[in-house]
A and B are shown apart, each in its own frame.
Chain A
């Protein structure tokens, strides 16, 4: 188990070192804006904020309300494309 977690840490380290994580983040952000994910979540945020009141809303509130919905709303095509890129990275660098 410790070996497994060690491996995960190593690969995450590698992702950051190579700059691939930043690239993936940028791609994901662009795709999510393009497919309307961001607008949907913003609308959801509006509801949450109206409910809680403009003055009392905190980042924690937003995170707990928005994150589950955010996960669910990511389109399959975007997921698939990102996974493809991650797999390609793993295949390239885990075999070194």
Chain B
């Protein structure tokens, strides 16, 4: 190796210090060159002056620091007591309850497949009248707009689940007996 050829006796402290300075200035020059290339590319590609803005437009987006206002200068709890009108059933519902209400009102979302299943099952096994009954029932118990009814609604759901299972179970039995009769 070359390093072994270099005798340490020639390396006194001042020379080492000079060497260190040279290496540092080399590195700094490298960094400068890198920046120059970066800037030059940005200029030629046309994105160097993109972040330039004039003082006027900067003033429009200044951060507001006043009591009662948020950083954009708006009253921060103006939406707290807003009510939204449901496009499906035209009731007005507290904004915080609107999403869960809409989910049920339109029959979409997490429980939709369960609700749809229930409707298919009841539609197949009984006549159309019971299906419409079910829907009416839904509307009557739809207490989404008030906070107090939440527990009641949950209870209603859990009451209905066993009913679905029974119906399904029955339908399986029917097919079994049917098959055995055929054989």
**CB of B52, distance to nearest CB on chain A (Å):** 8
B19 touches A24 (CB 8 A): no
A residues near B4, Cβ cutoff 8 Å: 96
A70 interface neighbour in B16, B22, B31, B48, Cβ under 8 Å: B31
CB-nearest residue of chain A to B13: A87
Interface residue tally on B, bucketed by range: 20 to 34
Q: Provided the pairs A6-B6, A7-B11 are in contact, do residues A71 and B43 lie with their beta carbons within 8 angstroms?
A: no
CB-nearest residue of chain A to B49: A46
A residues near B16, Cβ cutoff 8 Å: 87, 90, 94
B residues near A13, Cβ cutoff 8 Å: 2
**CB of A13, distance to nearest CB on chain B (Å):** 7
Binary interface encoding of chain A residues 1-44 relative to chain B, with 1 for a CB under 8 A from any of its CBs, else 0: 00110111111111100000100110011001000001001100
B6 touches A71 (CB 8 A): no
Binary interface encoding of chain B residues 1-28 relative to chain A, with 1 for a CB under 8 A from any of its CBs, else 0: 0111110101100011101111111011
| B165 contacts the other chain (CB 8 A) | no
| B32 contacts the other chain (CB 8 A) | yes
Binary interface encoding of chain A residues 32-66 relative to chain B, with 1 for a CB under 8 A from any of its CBs, else 0: 10000010011001100100001001110011001
A25 touches B31 (CB 8 A): yes
B residues near A21, Cβ cutoff 8 Å: 27
Q: Provided the pairs A4-B10, A25-B30 are in contact, do residues A90 and B20 lie with their beta carbons within 8 angstroms?
A: yes
SS class, residues of chain A in contact with chain B: helix
SS class, residues of chain B in contact with chain A: helix
B24 touches A29 (CB 8 A): no
| B35 contacts the other chain (CB 8 A) | yes
| B106 contacts the other chain (CB 8 A) | no
- Cα distance A70–B29 in the bound complex, in angstroms: 8
| B172 contacts the other chain (CB 8 A) | no
| B167 contacts the other chain (CB 8 A) | no
**CB of A76, distance to nearest CB on chain B (Å):** 12
- Cα distance A71–B15 in the bound complex, in angstroms: 22
Q: Provided the pairs A32-B31, A63-B33 are in contact, do residues A79 and B24 lie with their beta carbons within 8 angstroms?
A: yes
B19 touches A8 (CB 8 A): yes
- Cα distance A80–B65 in the bound complex, in angstroms: 41
- Cα distance A32–B19 in the bound complex, in angstroms: 22
- Cα distance A90–B35 in the bound complex, in angstroms: 28
- Cα distance A24–B24 in the bound complex, in angstroms: 9
| B163 contacts the other chain (CB 8 A) | no
B27 touches A71 (CB 8 A): no
Chain B residues with a Cβ under 8 A of chain A: 2-6, 8, 10-11, 15-17, 19-25, 27-37, 39-40, 43, 48-49
